[in-house]
Structure 1
Amino acid sequence: MTKRPGAAVVAGGALLALLGQGTAAAQETAVSGGHVSWTLDAGELTLGGSARPAWLPATSGSADPETGGMDLELGGTARLAPTSDTVPPLILADLRLRLDGDSGALRTRTAFNGEARELALAEVRPGDTTVRTGGVTWTGLTVLLTDEGAALLSRWSGQEFAPGSPLGRFDVTVGTGAETEAADAPHPTPPAAPPPVATPAQVTLSAPELSAGSRQTVTGEGFEPGEVLLVAIDKDTRYQVTADEQGRFSREFPVYATAAEGEHTVELYGVSGEPRAAAGFGVRASKS
């Protein structure tokens, strides 16, 4: 696994033409699934009326594992809503995220006052890029309003948004398929050895039963070293974890005070959406 600051080049097609960017020769690879986590810092806006991150699937696009660039089409929609709940949410559809060198953009299609438009809503600046076998992860991408993005949000919300104002941050993980070895040189055949016994991926919970408002810990083993996993509680994807060099991880999470009495599930998914492991726990009735 390699980790580097910043990001770089990705094919853009129509998006790069819209942005007036040139393409660069790069080892671009089609993505095989993934997701984007969009977090807004506490302020005047929320995503879908919640302070929690919005999760959007990466449905298609390309990435360059050599440089950390990307050009991704995102599925679903994002709903920007003011914390004051004074105007209807602004629906952002056809989201496309590009990162090219030291700059990037978030483009979207939306409608306001009966007028549909496509625009570059925000500038995206690189954070850290982690390249692993079969995938790339970007963390801490900074999202800043463009001139037209700030003008749109000001008209929609009735509040003043300035160009360059922060619009949260992105964490992105995509799959790029298995690495292939170069075929230009023969490889010596290693001596035969008994295959290692693989530990099946599994998760355990610190408490089989607890009260609402408590804290639970999920621990996993048998995963691929460096594998990025999504943790879903009762089908609600909340967290991202990365397996260590031994294929293990541990994550503590709150059991909400509003959790219903009865059985609940913790499920682990790969970045392409495939289920990896699951476990259950019970929530006791509150004492009156």
Structure 2
Amino acid sequence: MQTHGSDRRFGEDIATLYQDLLVPLIFAPYARDLASRLASLPAGRVLELAAGTGAVTRELSARLPPGAEIVATDLNETMLAVAQRQGTPGPVVWQQADAMALPFDDASFDAVACQFGTMFFPDKAQAFAEARRVLRPGGTLLFSVWDRIETNDFAWVIQEAVAGVFPEDPPRFLERLPHGYCARDAIARDLAQGGFRGPPAIRTVVAESAAATPAIPAAAYCQGTPLRNEIVARDATRLEAATEAAIAAIAARFGTGRVTGRIQALVVGIAR
């Protein structure tokens, strides 16, 4: 999969909008799902990779039994700063870390979790190898990735609307990265290359995304993700035009008031 430097830049503006708009729009239901799965495991010490602004971290802190230790990491310190400002019900260790070179001892965690971050790892097999290394024997790696963009209503409609603003060079960040790692055979292959044995359990999880107005998903995707970087790189004066095009497209498809759309992801689990 092709990668671009702008794909991984989450500056302060993007991180704040990500937390305020994207987390309640699309991440919250999957954070609850992932945390509930982890809470059913014997996990006294949990490592979270690519924690972002802490959607899963907060759920884990609320759901794991007293005494469980959570270490939440992300490569982007700006995202972690926003996460820490949100607070958590219980204690969390926050640490900047690269998923492909984890600064932790071998066999030091009962579970490793990652919500919608795996797609951003440049070398997924290496990241999986690192996750396996820090897992104790019998420990679990559990992560989620978005399914195809066509199965995620708002993302699909917004990508096509923004493409219409830049027809000669349409931004494809959403399809290329967040929705670009959903082939089950590729996931299984990368896990095997990372040292995991046996087939992973891969489940399709469908949920609903809802917003009070079409402007919320439009701003969330156009200004709260690195899609913003692609728009600005083409023409910095057209960020608002791209957002307005997304608003119009959402309104045309889902209505001008409260809007709801399908979201779909894959949840992957495998034991060490």
* TM-score, length of structure 2 as denominator length: 0.29
Greater strand percent: which structure? 1
Higher relative contact order (CA closer than 8 Å, sequence separation 6+): 2
* TM-score, length of structure 1 as denominator length: 0.28
Greater helix percent: which structure? 2
Larger Rg belongs to: 1
